[in-house]
Structure 1
Amino acid sequence: MRRSDFLVAVLWTTTVGTAALAEPISVRHIQRPMHRFMVARSEDGKTIASGEFSQIAQGDEVTMRLTYKFVDGSIDDETTTYRQQGTFRLVRNHHIQKGPFFTKPIDFSIEAATGTVISRTTDKNGRMHLESKHMDLPDDLANGLVGTLLLNVPHNTKPFRVGMLAPVGGGRLIRLLVSPEDEQTVHLAGRTYKATVFRVHPELGRMVSILARLIGLQPKDVMVWVLQGEEPAVAVIVGQLGGYGPVISSDLVESSLEK
């Protein structure tokens, strides 16, 4: 294992805390078929990728896919299936990251019901390696689901935690602390919308946080702006893809809101 990969694995492994499991998030807004577009920009404002989000529903089961195609040829492709039966429950998640934008390619799958976790990696000789293992996964596992959960919590909700399976070392379970920040206005293509801002914080112990800062691999908080109303929408996401690396801003294309 390369030094950088080893350090990331150590950090994710030691983030597993003793926090109590969160209460399930109740379904307040039934998720329906949807098709929207995003644009991703670097910290200096340059457009680096275009994003496409699609969602289909069959009964109480919803499948959504979010794909970013980068100008350098890189791909970030995540497909998530979940059930909305009073509360949200992950069914499966498949996340792929590849190309020069990403320091470490990812091909990571989760089958929540069986606890099957599959990692596919390619060695320096181009050979594919598959690792499959069983894990005891929490009911509040939120891979690919965090944005959907934020559409269903009130703006004055108390901070809550969800589980996340990080795609390192064959899968490392961590906790995310989600907190409402404030209400702000969001400007999309010259129009103004009211949004609630949420902070998603990977919980690290004090010593692990110090180590992470020293080696430059501390996962940063993710900020999410959620448009309010009868049909809320994730408008802006600012954070790292994959938990480390460059910070990008992903904005909803305003025309996606026009129905």
Structure 2
Amino acid sequence: MIASTRVLLAILIIILGFYTELAAAPIAVRLVEGTAHGLLLVRSISGEILGHGDFLQVVHPDRIESRLVLRFKDGSLHDENVAFSQQGVFTMLRYRLVQRGPSFPETLDAVLDRKTRSYKVQSTRQGKEETLTGSIELAPDVYNGMPPMLLKNLGSGATETVHIVAFTPKPRMIQLEMVPVGTQRLSTGETARQGTRYALKPKLGAALRAFATLLGKSPDDQECVILTEDVPAFVRCDGPLYVKGPIWRIEMISPR
């Protein structure tokens, strides 16, 4: 029985490796990213305000540093930092994710570094602490923390497949398909504008998805809306912030 389990796990690892090699093509830069500061609101699917946040972006000579900070009313924190370059194509250089507080099932501090090909994941669940370190070869199109800006760079009606790293807590590269699924009427005062709805679909492959579903680790789809008139802009994203988490809406707001 133990031998059979080991064989099954080996097969699943091979399948996972095969799927992470597919479509490893970086996204071309159509719109250069710059310095930015956006204000965000976090809502439940019923419309309840759960927290507020900031999107902060700073330009350096060799990289862009982007940060998404969400502060929940219950004291929880989601802090996502990504450094990337945009020399012809987008390239993620370094990524860090911190999650803590009652809104999350575990305390997590995860770091990916392309240059050193390394990762470090510190997690605490139900009082049990775990630290994982190791090597990871990131595909050219790994884009943790970057899908909303990638959507702004897609051509009209275009579908793209990239990779993200999921922390289980050990990091695993999975495919993420970004698909336009319709239009969205957006209102700004008395003015109506046109947006595009995108589905962000993690792609595990049939065998791996069945195994992940069995373990309750199958990631859910997300939906993002991008204002697509003239210069594209982020409007909102609906989806979980962790595997099998509740659907939360993160939306851009204006100060009053």
| Superimposed CA distance per residue, residues 125-179 of structure 1 (whole angstroms, 9 cap, x where no aligned partner) | 57x653221111101111111111111112221x221111111242111111111
| Superimposed CA distance per residue, residues 24-61 of structure 1 (whole angstroms, 9 cap, x where no aligned partner) | 21111111100001101111110001011110111251
- Asked if residue 163 in structure 1 is aligned to residue 163 in structure 2, the reply is yes
- Asked if residue 233 in structure 1 is aligned to residue 245 in structure 2, the reply is no
C-alpha distance in structure 2 between counterparts of 1:208 and 1:76, whole Å: 28
Q: Point out 4+ residue stretches in structure 1 off by more than 6 angstroms.
A: none
Task: Report the alpha carbon displacement of residue 255 of structure 1 after superposing the two structures with TM.
Answer: 4.8
Q: Name the residue aligned to 2:142.
A: 141
In structure 1, the gaps of 5 or more residues are 1-11
TM-score of the superposed pair, with normalisation by structure 1: 0.84
Task: Report the alpha carbon displacement of residue 124 of structure 1 after superposing the two structures with TM.
Answer: 5.5
- Alignment RMSD: 2.7
Q: Name the residue aligned to 1:89.
A: 91
Q: Name the residue aligned to 1:78.
A: 80
The letter of the residue matching 2:120 is I
> Alpha carbons of 1:74 and 1:43: their partners in 2 closer, same or farther (altered >3 Å)?
same
Contact 1:179-1:198 at 8 Å conserved across structures = yes
Contact 1:197-1:225 at 8 Å conserved across structures = yes
C-alpha distance in structure 1 between counterparts of 2:126 and 2:243, whole Å: 23
Superposed, 1:117-196 pairs within 5 Å as 117-122=119-124, 129-157=130-158, 159-187=159-187, 192-196=192-196
> Alpha carbons of 1:208 and 1:190: their partners in 2 closer, same or farther (altered >3 Å)?
farther
Task: Report the alpha carbon displacement of residue 201 of structure 1 after superposing the two structures with TM.
Answer: 0.4
> Alpha carbons of 1:212 and 1:129: their partners in 2 closer, same or farther (altered >3 Å)?
closer
| Superimposed CA distance per residue, residues 95-117 of structure 1 (whole angstroms, 9 cap, x where no aligned partner) | 01110011122110000122110
Secondary structure of the 2:74 match is coil
> Alpha carbons of 1:125 and 1:225: their partners in 2 closer, same or farther (altered >3 Å)?
closer
C-alpha distance in structure 1 between counterparts of 2:85 and 2:193, whole Å: 29
> Alpha carbons of 1:119 and 1:191: their partners in 2 closer, same or farther (altered >3 Å)?
farther
| Superimposed CA distance per residue, residues 7-31 of structure 1 (whole angstroms, 9 cap, x where no aligned partner) | xxxxx97766536224321111111
Alignment length (residue pairs) = 245
Secondary structure of the 2:31 match is coil
Identity %: 26
TM-score of the superposed pair, with normalisation by structure 2: 0.85
The letter of the residue matching 2:252 is L
Task: Report the alpha carbon displacement of residue 204 of structure 1 after superposing the two structures with TM.
Answer: 3.0
